[in-house]
């Protein structure tokens, strides 16, 4: 059985796409939100006192409501609480004070003002976010064009020993890059809309639940990390599928319709792909390779590092 060198999907093919997607979400959502957090936080820091209880109340590390102070305290705060006559309630694990001194009432007011300013600014950013406009300002199409060039270069090197292959024209590459970009933009827009709505609801729920500045900041930072993971997933998955489709078409142009499945042969290879390793398949009739019974060629299931080694036509081979 005669085979050729496979076309490899390299990390660099989707890393640029991942950066572009992250750039969209950072520029129009999280960059603006983090700037708001930084600005409001610094403003309050400049006006805060050095008193541990004041700082804890002003920054939302302690909650105060109708004479009750809740959440964790430290030794410095405990000392001040006792000095103002606060009494600990073991059942509710809170401190109760009959009258909060004016200094600390000002801290609570500062926390409320700071919190409301943050909440309103966040909602404004989320309502004004224009993902469609953001996508028009980044270079996803250029990154896909570069990936097409790299894939085509691998193809030309692979088949040069058997025939003079046709070459993708500039117009072909532009058409493919725009098609791939359009597909990815649909997923970016759909997930962005869902994520913005989800974050907006979390902000509103945070207010209803009586949570403070610190918790809201953690919510935003947590959502940002989720967005980064989603950018990585979209970039890898869509690039893998696009390159796989181009690879199959270019092999067909050279008269190659079959491949040998080749895994990375290490401990990270999923069991089903170990079973496929070394077997011959048609590109047009891929085996079951997904976790939920989906079919797919090497590299198409998410995170798959397997490769398709092209098999030259003419060899009769039957899988055991």
Separation of alpha carbons 253 and 318, rounded Å: 24
Contact 279, 1 (CB under 8 A): no
**pLDDT tens-place values along the chain, 320 residues long:** 788 899 998 889 999 999 999 999 998 899 999 898 888 765 554 444 568 888 888 777 788 888 888 877 888 989 999 999 999 988 888 899 988 898 888 888 888 887 888 888 889 999 988 888 888 877 899 999 999 999 999 999 998 888 767 889 999 999 999 999 999 999 999 999 999 999 998 888 865 444 567 778 888 889 999 999 999 999 999 999 999 999 999 999 999 999 999 988 888 888 889 889 999 999 999 999 887 888 999 988 888 889 999 999 875 455 55
Q: Which helix (H) or strand (E) holds 307?
A: strand 307-311
Is the pTM for the entire model greater than 0.85? no
User: CB under 8 Å to 25, separation ≥6 — which residues?
Assistant: 192, 224, 227, 231
Please give the DSSP secondary-structure letter assigned to residue 285. Answer: B
pLDDT of residue 46: 47
Q: Which two tokens stand for residue 65?
A: 């409501």
Strands (E), 62-131: 63-65, 68-70, 87-89, 94-96
Closest CA to 158 of 293, 253, 223: 253
* DSSP one-letter string for 174-185: HHHHHHHHHHHH
Structure token digits, residue 317? 């081979």
Residue 207 pLDDT: 59
């Amino acid at each position: 059985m005669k085979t050729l060198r496979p076309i490899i999907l390299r990390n660099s093919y989707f890393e640029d796409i991942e950066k572009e997607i992250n750039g969209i979400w950072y520029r129009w959502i999280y960059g603006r939100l983090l700037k708001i957090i930084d600005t409001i936080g610094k403003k309050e820091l400049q006006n805060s006192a050095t008193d541990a209880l004041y700082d804890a109340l002003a920054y939302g590390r302690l909650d105060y409501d109708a004479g009750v102070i809740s959440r964790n305290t430290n030794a410095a705060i405990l000392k001040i609480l006792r000095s103002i006559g606060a009494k600990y309630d073991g059942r509710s694990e809170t401190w109760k004070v009959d009258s909060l001194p004016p200094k600390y009432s000002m801290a609570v007011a500062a926390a409320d003002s700071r919190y409301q300013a943050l909440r309103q600014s966040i909602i404004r950013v989320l309502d004004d976010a224009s993902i469609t406009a953001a996508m028009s300002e980044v270079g996803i199409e250029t990154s896909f064009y570069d990936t097409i060039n790299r894939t085509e270069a691998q193809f030309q090197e692979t088949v040069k020993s058997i025939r003079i292959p046709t070459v993708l024209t500039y117009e072909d590459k532009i058409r493919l890059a725009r098609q791939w970009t359009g597909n990815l933009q649909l997923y970016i827009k759909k997930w962005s809309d869902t994520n913005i709505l989800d974050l907006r609801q979390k902000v509103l729920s945070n207010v209803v639940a009586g949570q403070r500045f610190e918790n809201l900041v953690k919510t935003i930072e947590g959502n940002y990390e989720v967005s980064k993971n989603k950018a990585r997933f979209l970039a890898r998955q869509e690039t893998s599928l696009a390159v796989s489709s181009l690879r199959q078409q270019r092999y067909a142009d050279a008269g190659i319709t079959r491949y040998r499945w080749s895994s990375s042969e290490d401990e990270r290879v999923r069991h089903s792909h170990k079973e496929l390793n070394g077997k011959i398949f048609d590109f047009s009739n891929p085996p079951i390779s997904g976790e939920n019974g989906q079919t797919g060629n090497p590299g198409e299931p998410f995170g798959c590092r397997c490769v398709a080694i092209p098999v030259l036509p003419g060899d009769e081979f039957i899988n055991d």
